[in-house]
Amino acid sequence: MPIADEDILIIDTPGLTLAESVYLPEIVRGLGTTLRHMVTSWGQGKTSRTIQYPEQRREHYDVEKGGQFDDNFRGVHRLNRDDAGRVKCVACMMCPTICPANCIHIVAQESPWDDREKYPQQFEIDELRCIFCGMCEEACPVDAIELTPEYDLVGLTRNEMIFDKEKLLSIYDATIERKPM
Amino acid sequence: MTYTLKPADPYDLTIEDTSYLSEHVDTGDRWVLNFGPQHPATHTTLRLVLELDGERVARVTPHIGYLHSGFEKLGETMDYNQYVTIVSRMDYLGPILSDVCWHLAVEKLFGIDLTPRCKVLRTIMSELARIQNHLLCVGAAALDLGAFTGFLYAFNPREKIHDICDFVSGQRFHSDWTRVGGAMADLPDEAVFKRMVSDFVNDDLPRALDDMEKLVLRNRIFLDRTMGIGVMSKDEAIEWSLSGPLARASGVRRDLRKDEPYLCFADNWDGQGASAVEFKVPVASAGDVYSRFCVRVAEIRESIKIINQLIDNIPGGPIDMFSDGKQVKPPKAEVYGSIEGLIQHFELIMSNRGWTAPVGEVYGCNESANGELGYYIVGDGKARPWRVATRPPSFINYQAMAKMTEGHLLSDVVAILGSINIVAGELDR
Ligand code: SF4
Ligand code: SF4
């Protein structure tokens, strides 16, 4: 079915007017626009979108002013602890199954505690392979794995970037204040 | 000079060597110049073999495949939710458009009808993605043609769209936000979302558009370099099956949002007789590079209208379909609170269970920013599609590159390439 005429917006592309083709007045007007931008963005002004990282960071800003929303942000993972400080994970293998990047590796073992059958003896996430989609967090039935607001993720070697259980638990300790469970 | 493929061996693998090319031209000494694959003006990795007569382009052979990453094949090893992460890396200039398109195709296969809230939010997000894509296209064209400032004015508002995506989904760029029958999560805070979006579309964006129009679209140098370049007539546009802004700039009246309406572009989208959102389809007639940019800017203004109609009355209720509950992931409260929810949750994720997709094939298409984006899915009743094929607008539009370029000057190649707005992730899949 052809689109009705009243739904069409005809764009005509007119050539240059005399003033525009003379070019000089246009240069002045263009400079005016540029100057206006320069003045309004001077020193982190209204229209400036620059953040002077790392002195300033996105988390220092209000969400509506371009800040980071900590509750939602999909950064580095952490493994949550339960009330007794043990790893909360029950090694159910949901997260390695759902992970589109295949970057979670778990070795499950019989748990030494009575409240569950299994626990992860090894838990590794290859942060270089991870695409931070958040599906592992969605899939976990006991809220054991979560993505944190941390985003500065650096390392000198690839091996360093494979985070093991201890590292992931230590990220929990470091971020629990900022993002409560 | 018209474009003729060597008919005897159209798949000649030695196309790369010069003798093949020079055998093909009638007279004179011609230059063969490789444009790309690593050239800033190609935006991504693609390669054009240009055969030059002085500064005129006599023949163009577009090459593809430099960013081939097996995306389509991956569709056969991932389930209907996981694949959204791949899809959004295809058209990475406006990722949410691809996300929405993929899941609309999946929902067509599954026969899921979305909730009104989900439809509205998906429409808003995909219009934002359209704006994001058009801003990049016009801004980067300005950059290619030497106007660096215009590029910056286009990128400032894009930053705000990233902020909105970050707020909604947690990632600025690849939001991977849609899921079968709904979305990853509901809005964290509706009031804040509304304020962010309406501030953006009513304040920042119009100002940036005005600046861009003044600085780029009414700029004599820009006009001189884009008017009358790369002309495709209406008939040619149809013959080459162009779509999107390219076709509309040539006068083809086609926009899937009107022709095959989906989401809030269809009448009665909320099931209670709501009428479709109102907007106009910008159509130009010149078919040159300049009119393509004008159509894109006009489309941004229409998208603003669409968003303004929807943003103030986002319907309440759930965002996910959880009706008969075999195909949609249950909400977390359900997972922790009830045994049915927990079982359902496990069923959907476990690799030997998962979805029982209907056996059949569908083609679902959307109007993406560059044209008709479609996904063709063959389901064989298992958790993963049997085959996924993409109809990427960039790929179809890119074939006309040779036709548009021949006979123009070398410097026009950049302008024409910019106006097609090729995204190599989608081009090569
Ligand atoms: S965020 Fe995504 S890619 Fe990364 S570990 Fe989780 S599921 Fe895998
Ligand atoms: S889904 Fe949760 S409980 Fe299961 S293995 Fe992963 S982190 Fe552990």
pLDDT mean values, one per 10 residues, chain A (181 residues): 75 73 80 86 77 84 82 88 85 86 88 83 89 87 86 87 88 83 74
Q: Which of B183, B216, B161 is nearest to A134 (CA)?
A: B183
Q: Is B284 within a domain?
A: yes
Q: Percent of chain B at pLDDT above 90?
A: 3
Task: Measure CB to CB from residue B253 to each of A8, A21, A33 and give the nearest one.
Answer: A8
User: How far is the CA of B40 from the CAs of B144, B246, B418, in angstroms?
Assistant: 8, 22, 11
Pair B48, B134 in one domain: no
- B313-362 pLDDT, tens per residue? 888 877 777 655 566 667 676 777 677 777 777 777 766 666 777 888 88
- What pLDDT is recorded for position B1? 40
If you measure CA to CA, which chain B residue comes closest to A23?
A: B220
What residue of A is the nearest CA neighbor of B159? A49
pLDDT tier at B45, thresholds 50, 70, 90: confident
Q: What is the ipTM for the molecules in this complex?
A: 0.86
Tell me, using a 6 A CB cutoff, whether residue A168 lines ligand 1: no
Quick check: A141 and B81 CB within 8 A?
A: no
The reply to whether B289 and B145 lie within a common domain is yes
Peptide bond into B330 cis (omega under 30): no
Residues lining ligand 2, Cβ inside 6 A: A 89-95, 106, 139-140, 142, 144-145
Please classify residue B390 by burial: count the beta carbons closer than 10 Å to its beta carbon, then call 0-12 exposed, 13-18 middle and 19+ buried. Answer: buried
User: Is B47 strand, coil or helix?
Assistant: strand
Per-residue pLDDT band for B304 (boundaries 50, 70, 90) equals very high
Residue B28 pLDDT grade (very low, low, confident, very high; cuts 50, 70, 90): low
Q: Whose CA is nearest to atom 2 of ligand 2?
A: A140
Same domain, B194 and B284: yes
pLDDT at B7 over 50: no
A6 to chain B, closest Cα gap in Å = 8
The predicted structure's pLDDT at residue B14? 42
Q: What are phi and psi of A17, to 5 degrees?
A: -75, 170
Q: Is B38 exposed, middle or buried (0-12, 13-18, 19+ CB in 10 A)?
A: exposed
Task: Please check whether residues B26 and B169 belong to one and the same domain.
Answer: no
Contact B290 A7 (CB under 8 A): no
Our CA-based measurement puts residue B204 at a distance from the nearest CA of chain A, in whole angstroms, of 9
Whether residues B142 and B291 fall in one domain: yes
Torsion-angle region of residue B386: left (phi > 0), alpha (psi -120 to 50) or beta? Answer: alpha
Judge if the beta carbon of residue A104 lies within 6 A of ligand 1.
yes
Q: Does A34 touch chain B (CB under 8 A)?
A: yes
What's the CATH code of the domain at B245?
1.10.645.10
The rounded Å distance from CA B328 to ligand 2 centre is 20
Q: Name the closest-CA residue to atom 4, ligand 1.
A: A130
Q: Tell me, what DSSP letter sits at residue A162? A: E
Which residue in B153, B174, B284 is closest to A11 by CB distance? B284
Q: From atom 3 of ligand 1, which residue's Cα is the shortest distance away?
A: A130
Name the residue among B187, B215, B21, B33 with its Cα closest to residue B120: B187
**Portion 86-145 of A in contact with B at CB < 8 A:** 94, 97-98, 100-101, 131-135, 138-139, 141
Q: Does the pLDDT value for residue B161 go beyond 60?
A: yes
- B360 occurs within a structural domain: no
pLDDT confidence of residue B322: 64
B336 assigned to some structural domain: no
For residue A140 and ligand 1, the question of a CB distance below 6 A is answered with no
pLDDT of residue B325: 57
> Is pLDDT above 70 for B9?
no
Identify the residue whose tokens are 């959307």. B366
Domains: count for chain B: 2
Note whether B52 and B118 are same-domain residues. Answer: no
Residue B332 lies in a domain: no
Nearest CA in chain B to A15: B223
Query: What integer is the mean pLDDT of B57-69?
Result: 83
Q: Is the pLDDT of residue B60 over 80?
A: yes
Whether A12 has its CB under 8 Å from any CB of chain B: the answer is yes
Ligand 1: residue of A72, A97, A99, A150 to mutate (most ligand atoms within 8 A of CB) is A99
Both B282 and B411 in one domain: the answer is yes
Q: Where are the domains of chain A?
A: 18-50, 77-175
| Average pLDDT along chain B | 81
Per the listing, tokens 């479609």 go with B374
Structure confidence by residue, pLDDT tens digits, B325-338: 566 667 676 777 67
Kind of pairing between the strands at A104-110 and A145-147: unpaired
Task: Give the domain range for residue B31.
Answer: 13-63
- State pTM to two decimals: 0.86
Nearest to A76, CA basis, from A130, A151, A126:
A151
Please tell me whether residues B29 and B157 are part of one structural domain.
no
pLDDT of residue B131: 92
Closest approach of chain B CAs to the CA of A30, in angstroms? 6
CA–CA dist B290, B230 (Å, integer): 9
* Domain A77-175 class in CATH: alpha beta
d(CA B167, ligand 2 centre) in Å: 26
Burial tier of A151 (Cβ tally within 10 Å: 0-12, 13-18, 19+)? middle
Query: Tell me: the pLDDT tens digits for B120-143?
Result: 899 999 999 999 999 988 888 888
pLDDT of residue A153: 84
Q: Which residues pair with B49 in a beta bridge?
A: B34, B61
Asked if residue B17 has pLDDT above 50, the reply is no
